[in-house]
Amino acid sequence: MLNERAFKAVGRPLPRKEDLRLITGKGRFTDDFNFPGQVWAAMVRSPHPHARIVAIDSEGARAMPGVLGVYTGADCERDGLKPIPHNPVPSTNFDVKLTGRGGTKVFIGSHMLLPADKSRHVGEAVAMVVAETRDQAYAAAEAVDVTYDVLPWVADTAAAAEPDAPRLWDEIPDNILVDSSFGDVEGTEASFARAAHVVTMRSHVGRVTGVPLEPRAAVGHYDTATGRYTLYAGSGGAVRQKRELAEVLNEDQQNLRLLSFDVGGNFGTRNRAYVEFGLVLYASRKLGRPVKFRAERSESFLTDYQGRDLVTEVSLAIDADGKFLAMRASNLSNVGSRCVSLSPLSKGSGLITGSYDIPFATLRSRAVYSNTMPTQAYRSSGRPEVTFAIERLIDKAARELGFDRLDLRRRNLVRPQQMPYVNAVGSSYDSGEYEANMDRLLALADWQGMEARRAEAKSRGKILGFGFANYVESSIGTPKERADVIVRPDGVEVVIGTQPAGQGHETSFAQVTADLLGVPFENVTITLGDTDVVSAGGGTHSGRSMRHASTVLALASEDLIAKGQALAAHVLGVPLDSVVFEDGVFRVADRNTFLSWFDLARRSDDEGLPAQLRGGLKVRRDSEMHTPVFPNGACACEIEVDPETGGLDIVRYSTVDDVGRCINPLIVHGQTHGGIAQGVGQALWEQCVIDPGSGQPTSGSFMDYGMPRFDNMPSFKTQIVEVLSPTNPFGVKAGGEGGTTPAPAVIMSAVEDALSEFGPIDFEMPATALKIWSHIQSGRARLRSSNAA
Amino acid sequence: MTTVSMTVNGSPVSRDVEDNTLLAFFLRESLGLTGTHVGCDTTQCGCCVVHVDGRSVKSCTMLAAQANGCAVTTIEGLATGDKLHPVQEAFRTYHALQCGFCTPGMIMAATNLIDTYQGELTEEIVREEMEGNLCRCTGYHNIVKAILAAADAMRPARRAAE
C-alpha cells in the first residue's frame, strides 16, 4: 500500500533533471553523433503517387565524385532483407478486435526498405545513394535515372474506398483492409425507431503531420570484427526498433544495439521503424563504414509518418426530453500506402459514445489504403477524431432542436455513481467526475462573464465565439514494462524501457522511486534508451509511460525492500521479522539502530554473505498490465473573428483535465499546453495538402504548412483534477494528450458560435481565414436577398 | 576551400572549409559545438540561432565565410562557468522546454531580445518578436513566462522605470 503522507517528491512541481544539459547545449540528439570514417546516405524518392518501377540506371550516379554505392529494392531482395514487421493490429485484451471483411485476417502490404515492384506514394524511397559527404550523396541521388510506368492513383480517403478506385495491392480486391462492425444492432435500430429526433453529421478530420523539430536521423555502424550492428536513432522505443530491425536484417536481436538518447519531439511519428534506419545498417554492412542519414525538413514533411485522416458519419437518436438513446457511427481511416498502425481507428472505435451515457450504439470501422504517406498514431491517436464527431454532433443537435448546448450535455453525461461504466461498445471507463469537470471548467473560463465580453467585442467590430467540448479518452499502450532498480552507495539507478521525447521521465520516475524507497529525489537517476542496458520495455506512446513505470516501480520497490530487510537482518545479526522498513530506513524494533539504503549498498558485496544476498542490492521486475484507463475533462475557448478579413484571435483557452494522480504538475501542465497547441493547429492551420490534379503533396516546408506560433497562440488556463484510477497502484491515468483530444472540437464549436448569424458552418478543418470570410460573405448575401424578398 | 577565422565563445578559431559551408554546420561539424541545432534548412524554425557580433542570426542561412572575423556566441558560451545565464535559469524554473531541440535557438533569440529591445517587454511584444522561433512541445506558454521573468531579472530598473 502506498503511504501518501510519506510523499516528499510525488505531486511537487520539481524542475526537471533533464534541463541542465538541454539549456547548455549538451543534449545528445542523433545528429550530434559522428564516427571516424563516416559516410552519408541520401534517398532517391519517387516523384509519382503510384508507378511501377521499370528500371533503375545508377551508372551516372556511380560515376559522380565521392559515390560509394547505389542500392535498390532488387538489391535488398537479393541480400535477403525482410519487410519491417510493423504488427499494426492492436492486440491487448482491451483493444477492439479489428478484422478484414467477414472476420478475415487484416491484409498487411509488405513494407520493404526499398520497394522492388512499385512506388505507392510521392516521396517513397526507391533507391539509396551513399557517398563520402552529404552534399555528394544528395547530388548523386538526383542523377539516379529511374524509369517509371505511371499508374492511376488515389489519395482522398472516401475516394480510395470506392470499389472502382485505383488499387494499391493486388492481394485484395479493393483498397479496404479493415471492415469490422461492433455494437448491438437490434437495440440500436429499436432506439432509432422510437426516437423523437435523429441528428446526423459527416465530417473529415484531415491529414496532418507531427513536425517534431528534430528531423529524423540515423547513424549505423556494422562492426566487421564482431558482426554487431550499432544504430543511433531517436525513436519512441529502442527495444521495439531493435526487435523489428533485427528481423529486417535477418539477424539475431543480440547482434543489434540501438541507442536513442535525447529525442527532439515524437508525437507518434517516431514510434514505428523508418526505412532509413534499416538502410544505413544495410549500407554499413555492404561498405564496412559508418553510414549516416539526416532528413531535410522537406523530407520530413513528405515522409515522416503522418496522422489523423478519418472520415466519420454519425447519427444520434434523441428522445423528446433530450436524452440520448442510441448512436450509429461509421469510421473510415486512411492508412496510406502501407499499414504501419491501426491504433487511430482502434482507439477511436472504443470511444464513440464519448463522455455520455448512450445505451445502444453500432459502429462500422473501416481502413483503406491510398497513395499517400502511411499514417500512424499521432498525438492522442484516434481520440480527437471521435471527440470531434460526438461533440460537434451534440452542438448540431442543440442548435437544430432548440436545446441549450451545455444543458443537453449535462442531461446525458455518465455520472460518477455509474463508474466503472461500460459503454455501448464495451469500453469500461474506470473513474471520473464528468459533470463536476464541466462546472470547474465553466468557472475557470468565467462562463458567467462571456456575454458581457461578447458585447464588448462587438463594440470593437469583432465577433466573439464561445466553444465548448467534453472529452474522455483511453490510455492503453503496450502492456509490458520492465524496471531494474539498483542501489549503490551513492545513489539509486533505475533502468527502464520507456523512451521520452520531452516528457521528463528522468524527473517524474525519480520522484516516484524516491518516495517508494524513501530516498532523496536528488539521489535517483533514470537510465533509458541503450538496448545493451535496457533489456526490455514498451517504449512511450498512448500515454502509457507514467502509469506503466509507476506500476512496475511500485512492484520492484516491494521486492527491493524485502531484499533490503533480509540484508539488514544479516548485517545487524537479528531475525528477519525484527527488521522494519519505515521512513526510508531499516530499523530493528525497540532498538536505536538503523541502516539506510546506502549503508546497506555498501555492505551488499561483503564477503561471507549468504548466496541469496550476494550480487548487489538490486532487483529486476517485469509487469504486465492490460487494463486501460480513461483520462477525461472539459475544455472551452473564446475566439474573436474579424468579419472583414475572416481572421481570428484565440483570446481565452481553458481546460480541466482529470489525469489521475499527477506526479509532477509542472510537467503535466506543460504537456497540456503543448497538446492544446497541436489540437488547435489542426483546427486552424495544419493540413497535409495533396494536389487533387497531380497527387503531389504541396505542404513541403514551414512556408506552406501552417504551424502554431508564438503570435497566434494565447496563454492558457489549465487545471488538473486528480480522480485516482483504481486500476494501478498510484492511480495514474495520463496527462498531455488530453490537451489535444477536445481541441479541434472546441475550436470549431467556437467558430460556429461566432458565425451563427451567417448560418451553420459547412466547411472542414482547418478553419482558415478564407473559409471564414467566404462563409460570412455568402451569409450576408443570403441575408440581403431574404431581406429584399 | 576557404580559410575561415572567427572568435567563438571567446576563443579564436580557424578552419579550412568548403566555400558553401553554412555557419550552423561550421559550428556543429568543424568545431563540434552540437548545441546549435538545424531544424528546417530554410530559416523558418529558429533552432539554429546564435549571436554574431551581438545580433541574433539564424546560422543555417549564413555562410561560415560571412562570419569571418566576427565574434560568435553559441548556447555553449552563454553561461559564465557554472553560473547559468538568467534566461537559461528562467527556462529551467518555468519549464520552458520539453524535448529541448528548439531550446538553444530559443534561448539565444530571447537573450538578444531582452538585451536589445528598447521598450517595455510585454507578453504581446514577446510573442510578436519571437515569432521566428518554432516550438512543437510547449505551446509557447511557458516560454513566454520564462522570457518575461528573465527580462525582469536582467533589467529590473528598466521595467520598473517604464
Q: What is the mean pLDDT of residues A702-707?
A: 96
**A384-433 tens-digit pLDDT:** 999 999 999 999 999 999 999 999 999 999 999 999 999 999 999 999 99
Contacts of A497 (CB under 8 A, 6+ apart): A237, A239, A481, A482, A528, A534, A535, A536, A537, A538, A539
**A79 vs A608, more confident:** A79
Whether B159 has a pLDDT exceeding 70, the answer reads: no
Query: Which residues are A619's β-sheet partners?
Result: A485
Whether B156 has a pLDDT exceeding 80, the answer reads: no
Task: Please give, rounded to a whole number of angstroms, the shortest distance from the CA of B136 to a CA of chain A.
Answer: 6
For residues A734 and A660, is the Cβ–Cβ distance under 8 A?
yes
CB contact under 8 A, A674 and B136: yes
Task: Please give, rounded to a whole number of angstroms, the shortest distance from the CA of A56 to a CA of chain B.
Answer: 29
Task: Please give, rounded to a whole number of angstroms, the shortest distance from the CA of B157 to a CA of chain A.
Answer: 26
CB contact under 8 A, B37 and A34: no
Confidence of residue B157 (pLDDT cuts 50, 70, 90): low
In single-letter form, the type of residue at position A277 comes to F
Taking Cα atoms as reference points, which of A416, A414, A442, A383 lies closest to residue A656? A442
pLDDT at A3: 81
Task: Please give, rounded to a whole number of angstroms, the shortest distance from the CA of A294 to a CA of chain B.
Answer: 10
Taking Cα atoms as reference points, which of A579, A529, A531, A534 lies closest to residue A552? A534
Query: Which residues are A635's β-sheet partners?
Result: A469, A655
Nearest to A674 among B74, B84, B139 (CB): B139
Task: Give me the percent of chain A exceeding a pLDDT of 90.
Answer: 93
**A5-25 tens-digit pLDDT:** 889 999 999 999 999 999 999
Within 10 A of A305 (CB to CB), how many other CB atoms are there? 22
Q: Is the whole-model pTM more than 0.90?
A: yes
Q: How far apart are CA A233 and CA A214, in angstroms?
A: 11
Residues in chain A within 8 Å Cβ distance of B47: 213
Nearest to A32 among B34, B41, B98 (CB): B34
Nearest to B74 among A25, A215, A677 (CB): A25
**A104-130 tens-digit pLDDT:** 999 999 999 999 999 999 999 999 999
* Lowest mean pLDDT segment, chosen from A141-155, B24-38, B145-159: B145-159
**A619-676 tens-digit pLDDT:** 999 999 999 999 999 999 999 999 999 999 999 999 999 999 999 999 999 999 999 9
Confidence of residue B160 (pLDDT cuts 50, 70, 90): very low
C-alpha cell at A289: 563504414
Q: Name the helix (H) or strand (E) containing A635.
A: strand A632-641
Q: How far apart are CA A628 and CA A473, in angstroms?
A: 10
Mutation target vs A (from B59, B141, B147, B148; most A CBs, 10 A cutoff) = B141
CB contact under 8 A, B100 and A262: yes
**A475-521 tens-digit pLDDT:** 988 899 999 999 999 999 999 999 999 999 999 999 999 999 999 99
Contacts of B23 (CB under 8 A, 6+ apart): B50, B52, B57, B59, B60, B62, B63, B64, B66, B67, B72
Which residue in chain A has the smallest CA separation from B89? Answer: A23
Q: Is A504 on the interface with B (CB under 8 A)?
A: yes
**A51-87 tens-digit pLDDT:** 999 999 999 999 999 999 999 999 999 999 999 999 9
Q: Name the helix (H) or strand (E) containing A256.
A: strand A256-259
**A720 vs A736, more confident:** A720
Task: Give me the percent of chain B exceeding a pLDDT of 90.
Answer: 94
Mutation target vs B (from A134, A213, A747; most B CBs, 10 A cutoff) = A213
**A314-334 tens-digit pLDDT:** 999 999 999 999 999 999 999
Mutation target vs A (from B31, B95, B106, B144; most A CBs, 10 A cutoff) = B95
Which residue in chain B has the smallest CA separation from A710? Answer: B127
In order of A64, A141, A147, A173, the CA distances from A144 in angstroms are 11, 5, 10, 34
Nearest to B45 among A213, A266, A673 (CB): A213
Residues in chain B within 8 Å Cβ distance of A709: 131, 134, 140
pLDDT at A679: 98
C-alpha cell at A6: 510519506
pLDDT at B158: 58
Q: How far apart are CA B17 and CA B115, in angstroms?
A: 32
For residues A117 and A53, is the Cβ–Cβ distance under 8 A?
yes
pLDDT at A302: 97
Torsion, Cα A774 A780 A782 A786, to 10 degrees, reads 180
Q: Name the helix (H) or strand (E) containing B154.
A: helix B141-154
Distance of CA A120 to the CA centre of its chain: 25
